[in-house]
Amino acid sequence: MFEGQDGCSISIHQYGDLDYKKIFSEIEPIFWKYSGRPHWGKIHTMKAPQLANLYSRHWQDFHEVRKSLDSQGKFMNAHLKDIFGA
């Protein structure tokens, strides 16, 4: 998340059985305003095109390494498939 820039981490948590969409709709625009980068393994609403813009320097490099290490996609889940556009 911090490659190529100074940064800090801000985490927003709530109980897993609660709908996260309402709180995310309020907080994510604040993060986006400051070019915030979400943790790929955590729930967020960004999709592959938005992430590719934020991580433009190494987005393609990452996908090439990921595919070489997991060519069958065994370590992918629905969330990762969605955010990686796979």
pTM: 0.72
What is the chain's pLDDT, residue by residue, as a tens digit (86 residues)?
A: 677 778 888 888 888 888 888 888 999 999 989 888 888 778 888 888 888 888 878 889 989 999 999 999 999 888 888 888 77
2 assigned to some structural domain: no
> Does a structural domain hold residue 13?
no
Q: Measuring CA to CA, how many Å separate 12 from each of 26, 28, 42, 68?
A: 11, 10, 10, 33
The pair of three-digit structure tokens given for residue 25, joined into one six-digit string = 């709709």
Q: Which residue type occupies 14?
A: Q
Q: How many domains does the chain have?
A: 1
Expressed as residue numbers, the domain containing 61 is 21-84
